[in-house]
Amino acid sequence: MIRRATALVAALAVATPALSAEIDETIAAFIGAPGFVVADAADANDTLAGQWTRTDLIAPGGNVGPVEQAILLAGADAALDHTRTSIAYGEVLVEEDGAPARYSFVELRRYNLGPALHAALVDQLGAENVAELSEFGEGPHRAWRLVFFPVMGSVAALLDVSARDIGDDEAASDECGGRPCLDPDATLDARAEWSEADAVLADWTPNFLDRVDGVATEAQAIAELEIAQYLATSDGGDYLWTGGEHPEAVGDATPFRFYEIDRNLGQELVVDALSVNTELNDDSIRDMLVRRIDVAGEVYWLNAAIPR
């Protein structure tokens, strides 16, 4: 896959060198941000290849969007049970063969809240009544930057990736959608004036592991949110990320979609996921928020609209 991507970039350089130089510079600046270490994209693609469950397809992950792929890579890096994940998505449209090609820029920050939950329980119950810290999950807070672009057989092929660890002091001061990233009690409830909603999703055969212990995986929760935000479809029994409409107000890789995922931060198995689609091409609504809460297999949908 990566050879095919490299060949396409080389062909683009011959056709439109000035434009290619611009997108190359944008990618290099994003991937090479301070503190980030460039990783081997081929190894990352191999890791993704091991996540796909649709062995009946020629390109099993070809219809999966960039945000889901970023989540799958983060999960493969370290298995953590109690996490808060914050994702920012931007894109640049590049004219290729007379049509816009969508280059997706994803930054994913994943925080390990196992130690925070352990400390809170020790304070409440005493150390003798709480399991060892290792039972809550030990691992670093970590950030990834990833760039995807379309190639034959894939709506979003991984092109470049980098990563860095987030130190404890930095994590303690970081915010995730306006919340302290390391505070398990800072829920998404205060994020907006929520209204109950219905999400009618057509069934599809999952491209990756979609549930664990009856609760949706983080990638599955995001896939369903993408459909609810009209950024993907599941018609005909297959999931397809389409990317939605590019906002006219954004002309570079500045993020305009944001995602928050809280996983198992309470007493029950819960995946609470939020999608925030900003700068909509709409006269009355600026931002649309859709939230999917999975509590031990019971799913609740909420939404909120931010007017202009």
DSSP state of 60: T
1 closest CA partner among 161, 162, 154: 154
- Residue 66: which domain range? 2-307
* 3-class SS string, 255-280: CCEEEEEEECCCCCCEEEEEEEECCC
Alpha helix positions (H), 156-217: 168-173
Would you give per-residue pLDDT tens digits along the chain (308 residues)? 343 344 334 433 333 334 488 999 999 999 999 999 999 999 999 999 999 999 888 999 999 999 999 999 999 998 899 999 999 999 999 988 888 899 999 999 999 998 888 787 877 788 887 777 767 778 899 999 999 999 999 999 999 999 999 999 999 999 999 999 999 999 999 999 999 998 878 899 999 999 999 999 999 999 999 999 999 999 888 999 999 999 999 989 999 999 999 999 988 899 999 999 999 999 999 999 999 999 999 999 999 999 99
242 closest CA partner among 52, 63, 84: 63
Q: Please say whether the beta carbons of 192 and 307 come within 8 A.
A: no
* Residue type (1 letter), 38: V
Q: Please say whether the beta carbons of 296 and 275 come within 8 A.
A: no
CB burial string 111-140: b at 16+ within 10 A, e below: bbbbbbbbeeeeeeeeeeebeeeeebbeeb
d(CA 184, CA 271): 13
Full-model pTM:
0.91
Q: Are strands 154-166 and 298-307 parallel, antiparallel or unpaired?
A: unpaired
d(CA 92, CA 66): 14
DSSP state of 235: G
Count of domains for the chain: 1
d(CA 163, CA 44): 11
